[in-house]
Amino acid sequence: MGFPGLWMTQSGSTAYRVIPKCACSTIGQILYFSDHGRFYDGDVHDATDGIHKWGIEASRAPITEAVRTHSAYAFTAVRNPYRRILSSFFDKICGVQRNGRPYRGNLVPKLTQAYGVQIDGDFDQIAAFRRFLLFARDTVRWRRPMDPDIHWSAMASHAATFVANGGTFDHVFHVEHFAAGMQTVLDAVATPHPVVLADVPRFNESSGHGPKRAHPVEAYFDDLSRHLMLEMYHRDFAVFGYDPDNPARAEPVEAIDLEALHAKLLV
């Protein structure tokens, strides 16, 4: 199976398990800068050189070697599940993607037909999101009417592929504490070019793709919605220390214990 979703600097300093909707654009650009002293011109997800990616055939051997020998500092970042699924909805369902098209072609018309998700005009964001959440639950729990998309499949599932195939994380941090978490990574490695986090812009590639959220996070989640969230993301809440009972709370309630994390991801 290898190491899907893994990016590594060409210098071999760091290996990053990408988890979508968890500051991956900013992290990828930081890794690129650490090797080249400049940011990638465009969306770093589109980069096919200057950074190793598991999806690039020529990158697989060096990535595998680095993971097997643990020569690269391995890390990932996670995000509050309530905010992550909302971000996925506004970006991937309501928004136009960087290629100028809706995400996954006819996905939205199918959602409208099968789940009643209406996103035209000045739509009811709460009603549309809750219907989308039913669809997301069906994909995550039952793999129907399609396999879960990487943007709303569980974070634990993404991270677990790295561990199950022989990888070991040196650091996993909460996006809510991005500066401290990313600084820990940078302090642990020697890079060809120093990175000053205070000077790094946030590369939010989904910003402006869709409508702005009109309500506080907690307004989108009634009792049924919170139940669906627990169905989909009970491991994410437990493994990464987020509060499943209070959608209004973005901050984690527990620190991440790396030893316990590896054990839980293998279950």
pLDDT tens-place string over residues 56-65: 999 999 999 9
Q: How far is CA 109 from CA 24, 99, 133, in A?
A: 28, 18, 16
| DSSP assignment of 46-63 | G--SSEEETTSGGGHHHH
Where does the pLDDT of residue 235 fall: very low under 50, low under 70, confident under 90, or very high at 90 and above?
very high
* Helices and strands, number each (H, E), in the chain: 9, 5
Instruction: Quote the number of domains for the chain.
Output: 1
H-state helical runs in 94-154: 107-115, 125-137
Residue range(s) defining the domain that contains residue 90: 82-151+210-232
Q: Is 244 contained in some domain?
A: no
Mean pLDDT for 129-158 is: 96
**Which residue would you say has higher pLDDT here, 205 or 142?**
142
- Please give the pLDDT value at position 73: 98
Kindly state whether residue 139 falls inside one of the protein's structural domains: yes
The CA-based angle 234-238-242, given to 5 degrees, is 100
pLDDT tens-place string over residues 171-226: 999 999 999 999 999 999 999 999 999 999 988 766 566 789 999 999 999 999 99
Residue 76, in any domain of the structure: no
Instruction: Mean pLDDT check: name the lowest of 24-38, 58-72, 138-152, 199-213.
Output: 199-213
Here the tokens at position 265 are 């991801």
149 burial (CB, 10 Å; 0-12 / 13-18 / 19+) is middle
- Domain-located, residue 223: yes
Q: Is the pTM of this model over 0.75?
A: yes
Residue 74: inside a domain: no
In Å, the largest CA–CA distance within the chain is 54
- The reply to whether 100 falls in a domain is yes
Residue 203 lies in a domain: no
- Looking at residue 8, its pLDDT comes to 98
- Asked whether residue 262 is assigned to any structural domain, the reply reads no
